[in-house]
Every structure is written in C-alpha cells, then in structure tokens.
C-alpha cells in the first residue's frame, strides 16, 4: 500500500474534476452519450479523455476544498459545464423529432410507431428516421469534433476547481429551445403544406361527388402523399439541421465564455 502514499492528493482531486466535466459530456451528448453505446464504453471513453487532459491542467492553482461539502459543490459545477454542452445538442435533435411527430400526426400515421432505444419509448417512425438521418449528418459535418473542441475550450476559460458557474446558461437554453422549435417547424412545413392542399382538394371532391367514400380514399391518399413528399424533402430537412448546428454550438460556447458568477467556497 506504499503506492497510495505516493499519490499527490491535489493532482488526484484535480483529475476527478476533469473526469467529472468530461463525463457530463460523454453521458449526454449525441454520438458519445446515446444509449446504443454501452455504459462501460462511455465510462472508458471518459476516463481515457480525462487521462489525456489532466496533465495539461497541472499548472492550475486548485484551491483545496477543505470539506466534503465544498468538494461536492466543485464536482457539481464541473458536471454542469459538461452536461450543458451535451444537453444543448440534444435540444437541437429534439426539434427534428418534433418535425417527425407533426408529419405523423397530420398524415394520420401516428399508429405506425417504432421503439426508440434512446428514450425507451415508442415514437413515430418519421421521428426515428429523421433522428437517424440528422445523426448521420451530424457526424459527417464533424459535429462530434466541434462538441469536443468546445469542451476543450472550456478548460481555458473555466479552469477546473474554480467554482465558477456560467450566468447566461439558462438564457442559452431558452434560445436553443426556440431554435429547436423553429427547426422542427421548418422541417415539417413541406409535408404539412402538401397534406393541407390534399385535404382541401378532397373536400372539394366530396362536395362534387357525395356518393364517393371520401374517408377510404382520403386515408390512403394522405398516406401516399406523406411518403412521397417526405422522400423528396428529407434532404432539405437534413440541410436545415446542418445550418443550425454551428449557431447552436456558438450559443452554448458564448454562454460558457460569458462573464461568470463566482462561487468561491471558504
């Protein structure tokens, strides 16, 4: 047990804080924190990243916590920073899933649900398809590298153990929620517009030919039109998502790099 005495307590505490910040990202961010990735793999990734980052933080003047309560507050601040980056991107992806729900509900296909292992619930198949497409786009444009680069930048502006809490994080999340909602509406507009026109045309046909069973014809026509327009516009939805990734990351990083409220613990 002599090797335990050789461990520098200050560096060990600093390593745990770095690990906590990295873990907040790897447990929540897309690609890193999806439930399709086993928990052991995510934990191993967090430890590996912390081992690589910790030596670059040895120069940080880390104030000794003094008590366990103070140390837990430091850990909570680090976890908040890492989690904010991950949850910010998750909010953006939720806008895409909202578009799928709108398409499925207006197209009359809400019964065609599939199981989503990420949320462990049944979601419309359009939501799941849009999520997978945008996730592929996120990887292709290097979004996972952007998120990791943003996490590395936080170590320069907010050193580990500083006990600093970003003031404008809540405002950033409100902005991201608005951007996510706008993204969902823009992605669903083509299909919703086509279905609205189809409903108007079917209404005129029903007035002209009252003997026609418009319910039987309309349901099949709406389903066919939904799949047709969705297949033609799914590329546009992915393009809209791509344009929103960098602004969302910029909003998060500006919030984390903004003037901070100091929570020094005595």
- What confidence score (pLDDT) does residue 45 get? 87
Q: Which residue has the higher pLDDT, 43 or 266?
A: 43
Across residues 26-48, what is the average pLDDT? 82
Residues 58, 60, 61, 62, Cα dihedral to 10°: -80
Q: Express each pLDDT in 221-240 by its tens digit.
A: 777 888 888 888 888 888 88
Q: Express each pLDDT in 55-83 by its tens digit.
A: 887 777 777 777 778 788 888 888 888 88
């Amino acid at each position: 047990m002599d090797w335990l005495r050789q461990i520098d307590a200050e560096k060990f505490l600093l390593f745990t804080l770095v690990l906590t910040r990295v873990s907040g990202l790897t447990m929540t961010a897309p690609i890193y924190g999806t439930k399709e990735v086993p928990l052991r793999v995510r934990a191993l990734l967090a430890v590996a990243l912390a081992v690589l980052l910790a030596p670059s933080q040895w120069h940080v003047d880390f104030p000794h916590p003094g008590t366990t309560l103070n140390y837990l507050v430091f850990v909570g601040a680090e976890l908040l920073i890492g989690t904010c980056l991950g949850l910010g991107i998750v909010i953006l992806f939720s806008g895409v899933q909202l578009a799928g729900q709108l398409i499925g509900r207006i197209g009359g296909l809400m019964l065609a649900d599939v199981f989503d292992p990420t949320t462990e619930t049944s979601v419309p198949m359009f939501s799941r398809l849009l999520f997978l497409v945008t996730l592929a786009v996120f990887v292709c444009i290097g979004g996972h590298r952007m998120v990791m680069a943003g996490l590395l930048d936080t170590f320069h502006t907010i050193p580990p153990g500083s006990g600093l809490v970003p003031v404008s994080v809540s405002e950033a999340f409100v902005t991201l929620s608005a951007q996510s909602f706008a993204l969902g509406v823009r992605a669903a507009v083509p299909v919703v517009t086509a279905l609205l026109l189809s409903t108007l045309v079917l209404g005129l046909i029903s007035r002209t030919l009252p003997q026609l069973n418009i319910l039987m014809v309309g349901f099949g026509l709406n389903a066919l039109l939904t799949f047709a327009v969705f297949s033609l516009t799914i590329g546009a939805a992915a393009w809209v998502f791509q344009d929103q990734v960098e602004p969302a990351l910029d909003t998060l990083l500006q919030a984390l790099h903004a003037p901070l409220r100091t929570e020094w613990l005595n």
